[in-house]
Structure 1
């Protein structure tokens, strides 16, 4: 329990850390990997190169300091981080090194502008935050291991089927090598893959959303091949999966994790996806039509054009089969073939006016997932439509927890 003086010092100095957050985050990871290069096996190296991880760390530290006496205010962030830590296999003994390195980075960047008393207060605060995370993660490890078919660490799965869904998205159906039961998950959760690529010095850890309803004897993920462009390098793991992994090959996987799951409500639900963001949405859709047959479901998908639109036939079939399912498609750049077939509902981008036209009112529960700019647009449109925050749910495919900080 932190005393009142320590809490006051931390809360007052938190904005200073926010102001220099990017520099502190960058310096922290430089020192951490220099001291413990084996931690490259945990962190996404592409996110490191793009500076995403550094920003996420700094944001988390600032928010924790700002709410040091009321961590329940950042419960959503804590839940998301601890779920990822469990999936990545973060251990209690790693926290002291992280804390020591983080405080050194703060001192390196802020220098004489931060005094010993403030550093001491942050040291105490970090320990309190670390203890809270360790306790939560310990409970998560225990809960997962005790579930039927659950496991800790990684488990070997083989690719039972590899199915091309579009020009850029391929599904992998995964079954356990040991033939034993697999853990049931919640729609919207993800699997974490530990991938060893020949010639690379370190393991690659990646999260991929499950793209089917739970309760089957397999897991399915649907992966977009990230080809990269001038500012972003090609996806190391996505390209490896597409090009090198075939039926019968083995992959090491951590048990399902994630906090982006359906909140049971009586109100209608709207699932909005952009690009490969449709993977958790398909999992939710497949589950809802089975488990909540009376609930109104609207599925809206945005893609560049038909050739990169995955699982369109499946969604069409569900909409034709179930009266409570309504499907809409938006193409930003339809091909000549798309224009000829006219098999979409809107050309361009999803906007508020169109959402209001097809949905009628905002008394609905909204779930959305896709690229960061896409989700920012959807979130702003829903805010403008006065959809309450508790009815706006989203998944960010990056270390940050809030769209506004991405």
Structure 2
């Protein structure tokens, strides 16, 4: 890009702040009109609730703000790259997106979209597309280079379906071809794809792997969510609960994600989760205890009540079996028989643990809804925990990261 083109892109920052979501909403509508087949790739639930439009607007704004040095966005772009690989996004998709994004800029901005401005954004997009395609091609190469690895969609069989609580059910998934599964780093997720007759579409969803790596099967633990044909959020989760049975087939993409346990570090670890956010942290916890790690481990989990608290007993058993594992549970409502050490009433509040004395040298791994993570990050920062020691994964588009 030329200096003049960078200046033109930077000059659009104010417009993007004010009208970015309107632009991306128009863009998605335009692209899906011309390429309805892409509805099989995108999460139509996030389209319905506006989360995807907002996340894209934030990404475009961040890129415009840092057009002089896009390298500062490497963390956010890496996270997006992993998500793209999990959805089997390929370089040719960038050409389609670029065509409709530039057309949308021209049609939404009208006379303000001068040929020079469109050329500048065209050059900026090509730069971003090249960066992302290079990053993703490396992830694809790594996926197929390991034993049991693959790219694209691979058939798996649901061999076991286990209710973990009133809301969460685990699915044990084995390759239908009888081969091994690719290893993964604790904390990663897989994309699962099902066909939804009510939408006449395939729909992918990401689910964290909730077991330690074993190269034989994957386990995902899924929360039942509200959903309907008009509001598709939760429809895949509901279908897994209600219709997918042992012996049925699902399709998976290979493991992806950069929210992972630093397996070689000796530091203590604190796992902090809300609701089904414990699933990637369970994989990390299981990996540590099964590999004989001596790292100090603190498990902090928040749930509405004991009825919906999945994996309560397995975690309690690990805390009983291993001296280096300590557990703390927070419930919105605490029943009398649960009022014991390590049990608290209210939302997760790390200041209530150990008299407010946290593990200062620890790495903190957080997972849950966006408001939950925002609170925990703010609390940890206020308590003097350095930002580089705080790692988090939010469900849905990565708005906090962006």
- TM superposition score category, shorter chain reference: over 0.9
Q: Is the 8 A contact 2:350 2:356 kept in 1?
A: no
Give the CA deviation at 1:382.
1.1
CA RMSD between the two structures: 1.9
CA contact (8 A) 2:44 2:232 kept: no
Alignment of 1:275-354 (within 5 A): 275-291=275-291, 293-334=293-334, 338-342=335-339, 345-354=343-352
What residue is the counterpart of 2:381 in the other structure?
383
Q: 1:362 to 1:40 in 2, by over 3 A?
A: same
C-alpha distance in 1 between matches for 2:99 and 2:199: 29
TM-score, length of structure 1 as denominator length? 0.94
- Once the two structures are overlaid, the 10-residue window that deviates more, 40-49 or 362-371, is 362-371
- Residue pair 1:13, 1:118 contacting (<8 A) in 2 also: no
Task: Provide the rounded CA distance (Å) in 2 between the counterparts of 1:234 and 1:27.
Answer: 21
Distance in 2 separating the partners of 1:302 and 1:21:
35
Give 2:67's aligned residue: 68
In the other structure, the counterpart of 1:178 is 177
Q: Contact 2:370 / 2:400 at 8 angstroms: preserved in 1?
A: no
Q: Equivalents in 2 of 1:307, 1:199: separation in Å?
A: 32
| Structure 1 unaligned spans of 5+ | none
Please name the residue that 1:77 is paired with.
Answer: 76
1:65 to partner: Cα distance: 2.1
Distance 1:234 1:39, change over 3 A: closer
TM-score (norm: length of structure 2): 0.94
Instruction: Please say if 1:22 is aligned against 2:21.
Output: yes
Q: How far apart, CA to CA, are the structure 2 residues paired with 1:160 and 1:289?
A: 25
Q: Secondary structure at the match of 2:361?
A: coil
The match for 1:189 is 188
Distance 1:265 1:16, change over 3 A: farther
CA contact (8 A) 1:366 1:391 kept: yes
Q: Which runs of 5+ in 2 are unaligned?
A: none
2:169, 2:241 within 8 Å by CA — same for their partners in 1?
yes
Q: CA deviation at 1:345?
A: 1.1
Alpha carbons of structure 1 residues 216 and 316: separation in structure 2 relative to 1, 3 Å: farther
Return closer, same or farther for 1:296/1:61 CA change in 2, 3 Å cut-off: same
